[in-house]
Structure 1
Amino acid sequence: MTFDSNRAWNEASRAVSANREVVLAIAGVFFLLPQLIFTIFFPAPEMGTGLSEQQVMDAVSAYYASILPVMIPVALCQGLGTLSLLCLLDTDRRPTVGEAIGGGLKGLVPYLLAQIVMGFALMVIGLGVAMLFGTIGGTVGAVVGLFIGLFLVIPVGVRLSLVGPVIAVDKQRNPFFALASSWRLTHGNTARIFGFYALLFLAMMALLILANVVTLPIALLAPKHIATLAASAIESVLGAIMALYFVAVIGQVHRQLSGTSVETLTGPFE
């Protein structure tokens, strides 16, 4: 089946608009609040001038080591939110909010395992190519290898991007089978799906840049703590909305490629 990006975006937008109260509530709980708490209480360290490369690396390493215990529950929360939204947008079954969250809980462990396997595989591909070229050509070879590794990793990531809906909607609880199913569904449409994701990513980056421009007067005129709070709130709201639409898009990509009917798409949830 040939993938139609316009159809996927229109259906995702209609699904979110028709049920905005429910999906915004889920996005607020599972995306907005964790991100807001994380941004306010665990800000990235400010790098002063005159620091050496090693000092910067040490500061970054110490920061990520300190926030690791917090990142784990945030990742769990966002994973549950992703699966719950995918269940809610499964309009053929039309689950209640409670049923959607319950379905998300059932699929959370397989989803996380699939994400770990996918991340490890992508890392092995990317770093393996970079190390191979680095062994042959030194630093220049390693840089070239990184670009080649990225070129190889991107299509693999696209092929495996439907793991979430396969687990949430198709109820596939085996993470390896879910990865294989995503690979099968995206066969022959990798370039189209990648182009769609790339345009969506660029649109999201444009929104973030616009938000930074809008908050610039606040950063210049307001006290530092107020400016930081305002920037964190706006960034978290935009991040939650972007996550919501990206999940909806992935759900509709899966829906289209799996040949699922869209007759009940615009009907509000109970």
Structure 2
Amino acid sequence: MMKFDSSRAWSQASQAVSANREVVIALAGVFFLLPQLVFAIFFPPPETGAGMNERQMMAALQAYYLSIAPVMIPMALFQALGSLSLLTLLDSERRPTVAEAIRAGVKGVVPYLLAQILTGMALAVIALLFAGLLGAVGGVVGGVIGLAVVLLFAIVIGVRLSIAAPVIAVENVFNPVTALVRSWQLTKGNTARLLGFYALLVVAMLVLLIFANVLTMPVALLAPVEVARFVSAAVESLLASIMALYFVAVIAQVHRQLAGPSAEAMADMFE
């Protein structure tokens, strides 16, 4: 069993992005920044006023998400393609061209989405059964405890299945169940280390977003409403794209570290 080293994973992820800077920035701009920016400018979330009650706020949010569903689905597909293409491109053993990376990403989109759907369905069934059982036994308190336990369980499962995407993109495993099982096997014994590593990344990203909001505050206060909204959307989209890029690079290095060199690479070493 390989012991995960978070410092090495972050260092190698940063080096991989730096070494392929022009190409990965171009791909991130097309697959992450552009859709994020279009979405933020043309489909902003509804404003929930102070005079709205909880039911009205829920109704407004429900109507909003229903209205953007036709846009969110192709956007999710597009960003999934971008993530898989970047994972392929960052595979230092193959060193594919951009066109080859995108073609490989296209092949992996359906298996990747099926893996996500299977994971979501399994977690939903477990959540309903567990929370429902505790709710029936312990009432409201039992239901709340059940939801908290399910949330913790979902986080752990998410960590164990977090490298299914590089398994698909790098190892060319196109069976979604096999990819999930492979991720589960590779992360065995490293759940706590990976959870702590991912948590630190999330905290760092949240701090960066807060810092960006502070920087854009003068624009929001002094500029016209439309200008302020555009600047805010541009900054948030840029930061979200950078975060997505580095998270993909991190996931690639987590997989590379836990999976070890491929059989082809090992064969090349002894030739």
TM-score range for the pair, normalised by the shorter chain length: over 0.9
**Equivalent in the alignment of 1:112:** 113
The Cα of 1:217 is off from its aligned counterpart by 0.5
1:54 aligns with 2:55: yes
- Partner letter of residue 75 of structure 2? V
CA distance in structure 2 between the partners assigned to 1:22 and 1:126 by the alignment:
41
Question: Match for 2:18: what amino acid?
Answer: S
Measure how far apart 1:126 and its partner are.
3.0
1:174 corresponds to: 175
Partner of 2:46: 45
> Structure 2 CA distance, aligned partners of 1:135 and 1:118?
25
- Which shows bigger deviation, 115-124 or 34-43? 115-124
Distance in 2, matches of 1:125 and 1:247, equals: 28
* Aligned residue number for residue 156 of structure 2: 155
Shift of 1:133: 1.7
Structure 2 residue runs of 5 or longer lacking an equivalent are 266-271
In the other structure, the counterpart of 1:200 is 201
Cα deviation for residue 146 of structure 1 reads: 1.2
* AA matched with 1:155: V
Q: What is the deviation of 1:78?
A: 0.4
Q: Which moved more, 1:249-258 or 1:42-51?
A: 42-51
Q: In the alignment, does 2:7 pair up with 1:6?
A: yes
- Larger mean CA deviation between 17-26 and 252-261 belongs to 252-261
Task: State the partner residue of 1:268.
Answer: none
Q: Count residues in correspondence.
A: 262
Which stretch shifts more, 158-167 or 42-51?
42-51
Distance in 1, matches of 2:198 and 2:261, equals 21
Q: 1:123: which partner in 2?
A: 124
SS at match of 1:172: coil
Asked if 1:189 corresponds to 2:190, the answer is yes
Name 1:135's counterpart in structure 2: 136
- 1-structure distance, mates of 2:211, 2:236: 11
Match of 1:18?
A: 19
Runs (4+) of structure 1 moved beyond 4 Å? none
Mean Cα displacement is larger for which, 109-118 or 128-137? 128-137
What TM-score, normalized by structure 1, do the two folds share? 0.95
Query: Take 1:127 and 1:219, find their aligned partners in 2: how far apart are those partners?
Result: 43
Is the CA contact (8 Å cut-off) linking 1:23 and 1:85 kept in structure 2? yes
What is the deviation of 1:127? Answer: 3.6
The residue matched to 1:8 in structure 2 has which SS?
Answer: helix
For 2:269, the equivalent position in structure 1 comes to none
2:85 aligned residue: 84
Q: What does 1:236-255 correspond to in 2, within 5 Å?
A: 236-255=237-256
**CA apart distance, 1:242:** 0.1
State the identity as a percent.
64
| Aligned: 1:94 with 2:95 | yes
Asked whether the equivalents of residues 125 and 153 of structure 1 are also in contact (C-alpha less than 8 Å), the reply is no
Amino acid at match of 1:55: Q
Q: CA deviation at 1:53?
A: 1.7
C-alpha distance in 2, partners of 1:49/1:128? 36
Contact 1:127/1:149 (8 A) holds in 2: no
User: SS of 1:215's equivalent?
Assistant: helix
Residue 50 of structure 2 aligns to which amino acid in structure 1? T
Deviation string for 1:210-251 (max 9, x for gaps)? 000000111000011000000000000000000000000000
Unaligned runs of 5+ in 1: 265-270
Give the Å deviation of 1:46.
0.3
Deviation digits for residues 46-86 of structure 1, max 9, x if unmatched? 01122222211111111110000000010001000000000
1:260 is displaced (CA, Å) by 2.1
The TM-score normalised by the length of structure 2 is 0.94
What's 1:235 paired with? Answer: 236
For the residues of structure 2 that align with 1:10 and 1:127, how far apart are their CA atoms?
40
The Cα of 1:125 is off from its aligned counterpart by 2.6
Secondary structure of the structure 2 residue equivalent to 1:3: coil
Does the 8 A contact of 1:87 with 1:100 survive in 2?
yes
Instruction: Give me the whole-angstrom Cα distance separating, in 2, the residues matched to 1:190 and 1:256.
Output: 14
Report the CA distance between 1:134 and its aligned residue: 1.7
Q: Secondary structure at the residue paired with 1:157?
A: helix
TM-superposition CA deviations, 1:20-71 (whole Å, max 9, x none): 1100100000000001000110000001122222211111111110000000
**Distance in 2 (alpha carbons) for counterparts of 1:194 and 1:126:** 21
1:144 aligns with 2:145: yes
How far residue 141 of structure 1 moved from its aligned partner, in angstroms, is 1.7
